[in-house]
């Protein structure tokens, strides 16, 4: 009984305490914010080597690891007609040294459980502290005595050209290239771009010459972070990097800011295969981190388009549903040469309306005071991110390096939060007017002109046209009237005649094609089989293993890959019936519709709509089939894939495309056909 009484008293006591505490709290009032966290940044230990290297060491013993960052402080330079030389140098560095082969170098790095990587202006290495001497030694050896061999150069050059080809139909790649080129100019260091021609201009000697003038210790920084004593780090760096000799550096001038356009204009780039339009509102800005209004500019950009709470996202995504995301960015660098961007990918049907909303929101932040709560939320986001970043030792080192590179006050980051919190609504409005130049902006649109351009007239903005490499062109003829008498039947007849005639192709009961494709250095095998009755099989293999397989027997089918099999749905069956099998052009589907004339791969083509999701293109001049376009929905988003038929070659009296260029999203894969067989190698079992 005594025990029960004690427990009861204790329970009542706890209840009374809880009641008393609750009675003292007014939950209708927001609790007052605590004091701002005090920022006390640890100062890295700094040393200077005779060859010009500045060493900064941040000791942190929480984990038995250490990292080394080499930053060579080079001015940006123009590559000109050899654009791509820096990319090739970057790819070749870190692949061995003059005394260690590529394989031995990589094997030892793996054995140490370390990582060492290189770029055209530096390197990074990390691993366990107990192996730090060897990690630094390998990193220094690869920096000072890189293994640059012509065979590796040719491999990397071929790989770079392959990547350029694969991105030709990528909306992101084209937009990224033309926006920079138009904003800065193609001859500006920030506006030039790589092409197959410029990469082919690069020689092995060019790469070696670039290494000599760009990889020098004169103005280099090495930042060491981790479980290491600063004196020990100095001893390491002096031992392994101390003999790195200074070089006579080329005289390169700092980049200059390109003037903005005198009036806002639309710059349109046609991409006939695009299912969306990429919109970028951009203007050049002179903004440095040590400018007085830098922190206000950060807040303004965050409020406009820094994330899901931004004006742009709430309007174009949440309210209008035009896009999956709309954002903005405001660049800064020590040269005062950067850009403001506001961008989104939107449906072609609403591209013109999206432009209206972009302009509306940018004008809004320039003219209307920002709401107090919105400003506080933006500040809180920056404060939270800043404080969390300080938990990483690498952040302290990066801040110390940033102070050096950007000529910042020594207390720049210690006063960071204070400067963020000083920003007022008036400051946001002022910097928005200064940096978001909506009256002097380029609105760069990359999309399908035949579906977008006609609606742009209502925007009352001048529209200039450019090709996919930012060269000015006349307005393309996006839609042409069909000549009188042209029908689906006549288009098919011209195709049949072009490939060899009805007599020749009617003798074909089956066809098998085999080929190969290279994807990111891997070789894939391609097998295609087709038979009368609309039967088809497509299979992709690697090293004898099936990666993907699609089968259609004329009535039903399935897709298989990685151990899974999924039957084709009703729409997929309909699409397959319309386009599968041997020469479907021998009969005209009742659903096929001639839609007009469009440009495909630089050639005018008749457009035949087979189903809602499948379109085929036939050359106006030659009659040959140029491409098949298929639209599919994935995760609520429409994805367009295109197969282009290239390099038609006579095979037993019938013209067959010997290159199939498959484009899906940003990726393009070229399948080179090596074998074609008629009436052999195909059985009914292939379509089961």
pLDDT at 635: 58
Q: Which two tokens stand for residue 352?
A: 């013109």
Q: CA 242, 243, 245 angle in degrees (round to 5)?
A: 110
3-state per-residue secondary structure call for 638-651:
EEEEEEEEEEEEEE
- Whose structure tokens read 């654009």? 83
pLDDT at 426: 97
Question: How far is Cα 571 from Cα 582, in angstroms, rounded to an integer?
Answer: 21
Secondary structure class of 656 (helix, strand, coil): strand
Element (H, E) at 387: helix 372-389
Q: CA 374, 376, 377 angle in degrees (round to 5)?
A: 65
Residue percentage of the chain with pLDDT more than 70: 93
Tell me which of 130 and 16 has the higher pLDDT: 130
Q: CA 377, 378, 384 angle in degrees (round to 5)?
A: 85
* Averaged pLDDT of the chain: 89
Question: How far is Cα 68 from Cα 62, in angstroms, rounded to an integer?
Answer: 17
Question: How far is Cα 273 from Cα 120, in angstroms, rounded to an integer?
Answer: 34
Q: Which two tokens stand for residue 38?
A: 């005090």
Q: Which two tokens stand for residue 501?
A: 């005639």
Secondary structure class of 24 (helix, strand, coil): coil
User: Residue 9: pLDDT above 50?
Assistant: no
pLDDT at 665: 58
Residues 464, 470, 475, 478, CA torsion sign: negative
Question: How far is Cα 443 from Cα 296, in angstroms, rounded to an integer?
Answer: 25
Helices (H), 57-170: 85-92, 102-111, 132-144, 150-166
Q: What is the dihedral of CA 314, 316, 318, 323, to 10 degrees?
A: -130
Question: Stretch 127-131: mean pLDDT, rounded?
Answer: 96
Question: How far is Cα 353 from Cα 360, in angstroms, rounded to an integer?
Answer: 11
Contacts of 244 (CB under 8 A, 6+ apart): 51, 53, 140, 143, 144, 216, 217
Secondary structure class of 256 (helix, strand, coil): coil
Cβ atoms of 556 and 580 within 8 Å: the answer is no
Question: Exposure string (b/e) for 27-52, b if CB count within 10 Å is 16 or more?
Answer: eeeeeeeeeeeeeebeebbebebebb
Q: Domain 265-473, what fold?
A: Cytochrome Bc1 Complex; Chain A, domain 1 (3.30.830)
User: Residue 22: pLDDT above 60?
Assistant: no
Secondary structure class of 305 (helix, strand, coil): helix
Q: What is the dihedral of CA 317, 321, 323, 328, to 10 degrees?
A: -30
User: Residue 563: pLDDT above 90?
Assistant: no
> How far is CA 32 from its chain centroid?
43
Question: How far is Cα 15 from Cα 258, in angstroms, rounded to an integer?
Answer: 71
Question: Stretch 56-60: mean pLDDT, rounded?
Answer: 93
pLDDT at 7: 35
Secondary structure class of 370 (helix, strand, coil): coil
Same fold, 45-241 and 265-473: yes
Q: Which two tokens stand for residue 137?
A: 């030694």
List the beta strands (DSSP E) in 437-494. 442-447, 463-466, 472-473
Tell me the per-residue pLDDT of 414-450, one tens digit each, with 9 for 90 and over.
999 999 999 999 999 999 999 999 999 999 999 999 8
Q: Is beta strand 535-542 parallel, antiparallel or unpaired with respect to 545-552?
A: antiparallel
User: Residue 11: pLDDT above 70?
Assistant: no
Tell me the β-bridge partners of 586.
none
Question: How far is Cα 76 from Cα 255, in angstroms, rounded to an integer?
Answer: 7
Architecture of the domain spanning 45-241: 2-Layer Sandwich (3.30)
- First-residue to last-residue Cα distance in the chain: 81
Helices (H), 84-127: 85-92, 102-111
- Whose structure tokens read 């003037």? 259
- CATH code that applies to domain 488-687: 2.50.20.10
Question: How far is Cα 101 from Cα 97, in angstroms, rounded to an integer?
Answer: 6
Q: CA 639, 641, 645 angle in degrees (round to 5)?
A: 170
Contacts of 113 (CB under 8 A, 6+ apart): 127, 128, 131
**Taking the domains of the chain in order of start, what are their residue ranges?**
45-241, 265-473, 488-687
Question: How far is Cα 186 from Cα 530, in angstroms, rounded to an integer?
Answer: 47
| Residue 125, φ and ψ in degrees, nearest 5 | -140, 145
CB neighbourhood size of 556 (10 A): 12
- Whose structure tokens read 């050059």? 157
Tell me the per-residue pLDDT of 166-204, one tens digit each, with 9 for 90 and over.
788 888 999 999 999 999 999 999 999 999 999 999 999
Question: Stretch 38-48: mean pLDDT, rounded?
Answer: 82
Cβ atoms of 245 and 51 within 8 Å: the answer is yes
Question: Stretch 597-616: mean pLDDT, rounded?
Answer: 89
- Whose structure tokens read 């074609």? 676
φ/ψ bin of 160: left (φ > 0), alpha (ψ from -120 to 50), beta (otherwise)? alpha
Cβ atoms of 497 and 622 within 8 Å: the answer is no
Q: Which two tokens stand for residue 11?
A: 């329970």
Secondary structure class of 677 (helix, strand, coil): strand
| Residue 76, φ and ψ in degrees, nearest 5 | -60, 140
Contacts of 8 (CB under 8 A, 6+ apart): none
- pLDDT class of 70 with cuts at 50, 70, 90: very high
pLDDT at 286: 98
Question: How far is Cα 287 from Cα 292, in angstroms, rounded to an integer?
Answer: 10
| Residue 59, φ and ψ in degrees, nearest 5 | -85, 130
Q: Which two tokens stand for residue 624?
A: 């040959």
Tell me which of 520 and 659 has the higher pLDDT: 659
Tell me the per-residue pLDDT of 255-302, one tens digit each, with 9 for 90 and over.
999 999 999 999 999 998 788 999 999 999 999 999 999 999 999 999
- pLDDT class of 393 with cuts at 50, 70, 90: confident
Question: How far is Cα 605 from Cα 596, in angstroms, rounded to an integer?
Answer: 8
User: Residue 119: pLDDT above 50?
Assistant: yes
User: Residue 6: pLDDT above 60?
Assistant: no
């Amino acid at each position: 009984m005594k025990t029960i009484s004690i427990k009861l008293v204790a329970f009542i006591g706890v209840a009374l305490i809880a009641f008393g505490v609750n009675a003292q709290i007014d939950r209708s009032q927001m609790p007052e914010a605590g004091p701002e966290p005090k920022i006390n940044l640890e100062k890295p230990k700094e040393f200077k080597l005779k060859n010009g290297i500045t060493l900064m060491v941040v000791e942190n013993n929480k984990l038995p690891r250490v990292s080394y960052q080499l930053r060579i402080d080079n001015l940006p330079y123009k590559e000109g007609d050899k654009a791509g030389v820096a990319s090739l140098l970057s790819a070749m560095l870190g692949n061995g040294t003059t005394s260690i082969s590529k394989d031995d170098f990589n094997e030892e790095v793996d054995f140490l459980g370390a990582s060492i990587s290189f770029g055209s202006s530096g390197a990074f290495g990390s691993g366990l502290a107990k192996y730090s001497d060897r990690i630094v030694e390998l990193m220094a050896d690869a920096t000072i005595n890189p293994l640059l061999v012509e065979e590796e150069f040719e491999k990397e050059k071929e790989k770079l050209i392959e990547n350029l080809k694969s991105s030709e139909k990528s909306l992101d790649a084209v937009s990224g290239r033309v926006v920079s080129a138009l904003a800065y100019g193609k001859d500006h260091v920030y506006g030039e771009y790589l092409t197959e021609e410029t990469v082919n201009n690069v020689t092995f000697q060019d790469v070696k010459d670039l290494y000599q003038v760009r990889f020098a210790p004169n103005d280099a920084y090495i930042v060491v972070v981790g479980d290491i004593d600063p004196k020990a780090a100095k001893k390491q760096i002096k031992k392994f990097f101390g003999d790195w000799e200074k070089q006579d550096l080329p005289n390169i001038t700092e980049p200059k800011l390109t003037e903005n356009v005198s009036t806002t204009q639309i710059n349109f780039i046609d991409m006939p295969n695009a299912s969306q339009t990429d919109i970028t509102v951009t203007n050049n800005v002179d903004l440095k981190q040590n400018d007085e209004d830098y922190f206000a500019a950060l807040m303004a950009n965050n409020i406009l388009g820094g994330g899901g709470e931004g004006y742009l996202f709430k309007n174009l995504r949440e309210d209008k549903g035009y896009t999956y995301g709309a954002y903005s960015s405001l660049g800064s660098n020590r040269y005062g040469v950067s850009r403001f961007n506001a961008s989104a990918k939107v449906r072609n049907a609403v591209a013109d309306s999206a432009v209206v909303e972009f302009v509306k929101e940018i004008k809004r932040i320039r003219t209307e005071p920002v709401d107090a709560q919105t400003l506080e939320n933006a500040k809180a986001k920056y404060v939270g991110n800043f404080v969390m970043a300080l938990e990483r030792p690498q952040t302290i080192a990066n801040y110390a390096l940033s102070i050096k590179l950007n000529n910042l006050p020594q207390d720049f980051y210690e006063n960071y939060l204070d400067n963020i919190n000083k920003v007022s609504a008036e400051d946001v409005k002022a910097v928005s007017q200064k940096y978001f130049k909506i009256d002097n902006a380029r609105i760069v649109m990359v999309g399908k002109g035949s579906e977008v351009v006609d609606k742009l007239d209502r925007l009352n903005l001048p529209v200039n046209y450019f090709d996919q490499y930012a060269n000015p062109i006349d307005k393309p003829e996006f839609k042409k009237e069909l000549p009188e008498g042209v029908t689906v039947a006549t288009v098919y007849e011209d195709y049949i005649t072009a490939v060899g005639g009805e007599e020749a192709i009617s003798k074909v009961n089956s066809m098998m094609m085999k080929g190969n494709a290279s994807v990111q250095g891997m070789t894939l095998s391609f097998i295609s089989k087709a038979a009368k009755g609309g039967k088809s099989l497509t299979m992709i293999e690697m090293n004898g293993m099936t990666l993907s397989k699609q089968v259609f027997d004329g009535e039903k089918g399935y897709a298989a890959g990685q151990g899974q099999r999924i039957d084709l749905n009703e729409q997929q069956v309909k699409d397959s019936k319309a386009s599968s099998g041997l020469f479907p052009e021998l009969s005209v589907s009742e659903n096929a519709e001639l839609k007009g004339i469009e440009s495909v791969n630089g050639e005018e083509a008749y457009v035949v709509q087979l189903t809602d999701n499948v379109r085929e293109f036939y050359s106006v001049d030659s009659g040959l089939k140029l491409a098949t376009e298929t639209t599919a929905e994935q995760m609520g988003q429409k994805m367009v894939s295109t197969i282009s038929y290239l390099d038609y070659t006579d095979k037993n009296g019938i013209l067959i495309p010997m290159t199939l260029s498959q484009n899906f999203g940003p990726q393009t894969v070229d399948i080179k056909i090596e074998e074609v067989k008629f009436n052999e190698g195909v059985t009914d079992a292939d379509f089961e």
